[in-house]
Chain A
Amino acid sequence: MKTSKLTIEKFKQHGYFADQEMVDIVNASLYLNKPLLIEGPAGTGKTFLAKIISEILESELIRLQCHEGIDEDNALYEWNYKKQLISIQRDEKDKNLFSEDYLIERPILKALNSDKQSVFLIDEIDRSDEEFEALLLEVLAENQVTIPELGTIKAKNENIVVLTSNGTRELSEALRRRCIYFYLDYPSVEIETNVILNNVQNITKEDAFKYATFSSLLRTLNLNKPPSLIETVEWVKFNFENKIKNLSSNLGILSKDSNDQKLIFEKIKESDDIKN
């Protein structure tokens, strides 16, 4: 890949706060032209990272959302057999029924066929079935697709492939082998401070830092679902802009679980007890 190196500053210009590790890995995957596999808990900005990469490289983002039962027809290509049937009925016999006229492009094929270099995002690969992974292997390794009736379609450009996973199921070794692996954890206090500063108007750095520390404290509690980055930012935004001083109000934005809310509430109370 002959793209220029990405830096923390470039990410920052597009509103994404990265650390050195992330930038290193993205650079390595761009250089080696290998797919980037991002794994991590929900709400840490995995999908957003792919979007930002496409923005920085000024290329189109083609997205394939995986779900249970996704197959060739949804992801790769499909024959437009209604059109084929009509052709048969019209007696257009000299026409080849398996030509590109009758092919419906699905995201993967679209990514391969696009004229410009594009970022191809395969979102939540762990939701799909294991058989689907095998389907992807050819695209990931060779950057091409073989359609039995038509032959092999090679990519016009060297695409950048990004896969994201929540880790609800173990991905096969064959898939992992072809990727560069990156574990995107909850952000550090430093990054979270920057994100809050960027998103909440008129907040001072000190306040942003305090809120960021608070949310990192929450993540050390034994919660069913630790608050994600977006949830914290929204909560801080609402509380700060409406000048709500009481921390334990509006916990519904921060956590969507009654037991978790109880735990957070107790933690806040605890600090009150020490004071007295």
Chain B
Amino acid sequence: MILKTEEILNFKEYCKKNNLNLSSDRYSNLINFLNKNYQDSKLREIDFIYHILPSNLEEKQKLKNLIQHFFKISFFEEKINIVPINQYDEKFLNLIDKEKLNSTLNEITIDLINSYGDIDFSRPVSNTFWLNKIKQTAKYKEQLVFFDFFSENFLDNLVNLQNKKLFEDRLNYFILEKLQELRNTTKEAYLPVDLNPKEDLMEKDFLYTDSIERDQLLRETKKLGEILASKFKKYSKSNSSGKLLFRKTFRKSLQDGGNFYKLIFKPKVKRKPKLIFMCDISGSMALYSLFGLILLFGVIQKFSSVRTFVFIDGVTDISKRLRNIKINEVKQVLSDWNNFVKNDGHSDYEKSFNELLDNIKLEGNFAKTLLVIGDARNNYRNIDKDLIQRLDSTFDSIYWMNPERKQYWNTGDSQFYLFDEISTHSSEVRSYQQLKQFINNIRLNKVLR
């Protein structure tokens, strides 16, 4: 074993410090394996740390960052192939060769930065700013020219486009790395906060994510929703034991000469989650509502007893619309403001909740659980105490996700304290982690009726 056991134990401590607790028998497995199986290089051994330690995808992604920081290497080369089509000169041949690709890109990067001229790192701007400046130069565009070949064939064009994108991403990554390197070596350089080790995406505020990160988070949220839905399914099953159906059992027994080989029971009655879900979709809340809706989408589609309302200044029932669509179309449903604005387009909690109560009063067996996403900012309109009392008496439990930062609750026109009093659980939900914590607080067996 080239790696020392001490080193692995140090790494274990490092992981603990960074909130990644892995059970110690995984480490002993790893050491056991590395001791008996000789590897050629240290890098290969580090590979095995990455392979053997994690027990789910989340841990794997976390571990990747930690290994890179701890061992100070970037051995996870993303697998990309760049093969330009129809043009072959010296440069491209270098690009086809995977091993030469990185050195070629490095050369291009150094060339680009040098030709750009002096970069003033003391200016209070981040690396991305300089990257954008470099992107505008003619020399940068020159690098991408060889992908601008268009043939009659659709496929060639698409492949070209894809390769161009990959190449550009790769090049940008290289430039950013190089810039960071230069910045670190320069004295009096401006070191903004965002250059520190990257914030964990799972803890990042939804509002500050870019489109790629947002898509990834939406996908993760969708998975979380599926897990939530399957949890509901589990609870709904474990409810009642069926009674013995004697008549059928008797009839069946005739086949076997009157022996009761097979007992037949009444089908089990399944409980359904009865839940009303309210989303504030006014401008500031729309993004968070989207995440909330994606989270509950699995439950909404599986159980017709879950009702979904959106509100701005009046409620609209969208449960039926949600039932017939795929998850990608949720965004479009939310953007359909024409049908949702009832009055002036400023959120009105009193009117909305009153409408909701009147709506569900008409139905006999309504849900006793309410789940709300909203910041309770009522645009300086009054919220009647009667409404709060009615809500309290109508619902057994109210869960409230407030996407606002906790320090801003009850400031300005926010009247959250009114709802906070009557809610079973309320918390700040701005990121994936918080979303996950929130659903763990929902008492599932109470939702089912």
Contacts and interface: CB of A to CB of B under 8 A. Distances in A.
Contacts of A21: 47, 51
B156 A224 contact: no
A28 B55 contact: no
B326 A31 contact: no
A31 B35 CA distance: 12
A210 B56 contact: no
B154 A259 contact: no
Contacts of B261: 81-82, 85
Given A34-B29, A169-B230, A210 B81 contact: no
Contacts of B326: 224, 257, 259
A209 B157 contact: no
A181 B80 contact: no
B424 interface: no
A201 interface: no
Given A24-B51, A216-B162, A224-B326, A272 B154 contact: yes
A31 B150 contact: no
B79 A39 contact: no
Interface string B34-60: 001100000000011001101111001
Nearest to A189: B81
Interface string A202-222: 000010011101101100001
A259 B329 contact: yes
Contacts of A213: 81, 158-159, 162-163
Give the dominant DSSP class at A's interface: helix
A177 interface: yes
B158 A267 contact: yes
A177 B23 contact: yes
Given A31-B33, A259-B328, A209 B83 contact: yes
Give the dominant DSSP class at B's interface: helix
Interface residues of A, number: 53
Contact of B327 (A168, A224, A247): A224
A189 B55 contact: no
A274 interface: yes
A275 B25 contact: no
A189 B259 CA distance: 62
Nearest to A263: B328
A17 to B, nearest CB: 13
B355 interface: no
A9 interface: no
A43 interface: no
Given A34-B29, A214-B155, A181 B55 contact: yes
A183 B60 contact: yes
A179 B79 contact: no
Interface string B223-263: 10011001100100000000000000000000000010100
A25 B33 CA distance: 11
Interface of A: 20-21, 24-25, 27-28, 31-32, 34, 39, 81-82, 85, 129-130, 167-170, 173, 176-177, 179-183, 188-190, 206, 209-211, 213-214, 216-217, 222-224, 245-248, 257, 259, 267-268, 271-272, 274-275
Which 3 A-B residue pairs are closest in the complex by CB-CB distance? A271-B157, A176-B55, A169-B230
